[in-house]
């Protein structure tokens, strides 16, 4: 069985990840996935490449804690998060969230919950190459509404 969290430089195979997560679990009636890709624009500027960095160990622990929270909130069977780091190009896959459950509603909610966490709280930093040169930015996005709907306090904490 695959780990629940993988931070990696290499690309991922969505179909293989879904098959591995389902792995003969006959209870599964729903699989929800989210695939994020690298865009060629951010904050109104063209982006030719992006490089993502993280704190090894800390990032995985943080995402594991949020997966634990998803299991506590939703009736799900399994969850997997893959997030790429290193140099990335527009159109590259960057993140995958897969959730299984008996019914679609739980899978959809848990998948959205995990993506809202990843986008707003997970400790990633990115360097974007723009026409004006390179710039480092916190990859987390301030989205108090996304956090509030899950009862998560803003301030980049997983509590």
pTM over 0.85: yes
Domain assignments of the chain as residue spans, ordered by start: 5-144
Q: pLDDT: is 129 or 25 the higher one?
A: 25
Q: Name the CATH superfamily for 5-144.
A: Molybdopterin biosynthesis MoaE subunit (3.90.1170.40)
Rounded Cα gap, residues 25 and 101, in angstroms: 10
In this predicted model, what pLDDT tens digit does every residue of 85-141 receive, in sequence order? 999 999 999 999 999 999 999 999 999 999 998 988 888 888 888 888 888 876 666
In this predicted model, what pLDDT tens digit does every residue of 96-108 receive, in sequence order? 999 999 999 999 9
Query: What is the Rg, in whole angstroms, of the alpha carbon atoms belonging to the chain?
Result: 16
């Amino acid at each position: 069985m695959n780990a629940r969290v993988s931070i990696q430089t290499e690309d991922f195979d969505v179909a293989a990840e879904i098959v591995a997560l389902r792995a003969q679990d006959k209870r599964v009636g729903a699989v929800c996935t989210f695939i994020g890709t690298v865009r060629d624009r951010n904050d109104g500027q063209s982006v030719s490449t992006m490089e993502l960095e993280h704190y090894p160990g800390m990032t995985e622990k943080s995402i594991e804690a949020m997966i634990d929270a998803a299991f506590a909130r939703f009736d799900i069977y399994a969850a997997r998060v893959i997030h790429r780091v290193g140099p990335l190009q527009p159109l590259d896959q960057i993140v995958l969230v897969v959730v299984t459950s008996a019914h679609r509603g739980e899978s959809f909610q848990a998948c959205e919950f995990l993506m809202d966490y990843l986008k707003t709280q997970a400790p990633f930093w990115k360097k974007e190459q723009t026409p004006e040169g390179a710039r480092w930015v916190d990859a987390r996005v301030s989205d108090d509404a996304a956090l509030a709907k899950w009862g998560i306090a803003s301030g980049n904490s997983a509590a």
